[in-house]
A and B are shown apart, each in its own frame.
Chain A
């Protein structure tokens, strides 16, 4: 089974900061990597699919990169509404879809 490992598990940052979250797959997953945002008590929301593509309505301050086993989610200038938990997910090993353990982004 493909394991997805995110780092860091938690992160403190300030409004306006540039933030990068990393996701590493235990084997190559090409570019079959999605990112989700989840706020407390709410359902997850799709942010980025296929490593790079922004879901409709997602602000352009979010971006994704990577291929193979190493991927990053970058928020170029943190806004108050961005404080949440972020999950990566691989779809390479369809029909098994594995999530990372999550990265909690908190206000410094």
Chain B
């Protein structure tokens, strides 16, 4: 069965950096685009970033562009999100989600999700 397991969250001081990971199993990871979605405490879902199946294309929400970097290692079945210059408003549960498609497009939907990892930005 498809499993996505995030890790790497924690309490981080403002301005610091962090890398969160998502390990995939139960499917051919290199066949699917992948996303990061976050959810601030008590708030709704916010799409953060997407990467194509081979890592050749990446896109970001305006709110994180220039500060976050999405990447993947298909040999390790792992998705990453490197977050720089963290701000209080980046406090959220970060979910990885599998795209239903190899290359994200209009038909994309997020068909499997991990359980999330909490990042708290606080001094």
Contacts and interface: CB of A to CB of B under 8 A. Distances in A.
Nearest to A56: B111
A60 interface: no
Interface centre among B95, B100, B108, B110 (most CB of A within 10 A): B110
Contacts, number: 69
B109 A46 contact: yes
Interface of A: 1, 30, 32, 34, 36, 38, 42-46, 49-50, 55, 87, 89, 91-92, 94-102
A92 B83 CA distance: 27
Contact of B106 (A46, A92, A102): A92
B70 to A, nearest CB: 11
B95 A44 contact: yes
Contacts of A96: 47, 59, 61
A97 B111 CA distance: 14
B46 interface: yes
19 contacts: A42-B115, A44-B45, A44-B97, A44-B110, A45-B113, A46-B110, A46-B111, A46-B112, A49-B100, A50-B107, A89-B109, A91-B106, A95-B50, A95-B57, A96-B61, A97-B50, A97-B110, A99-B44, A99-B47
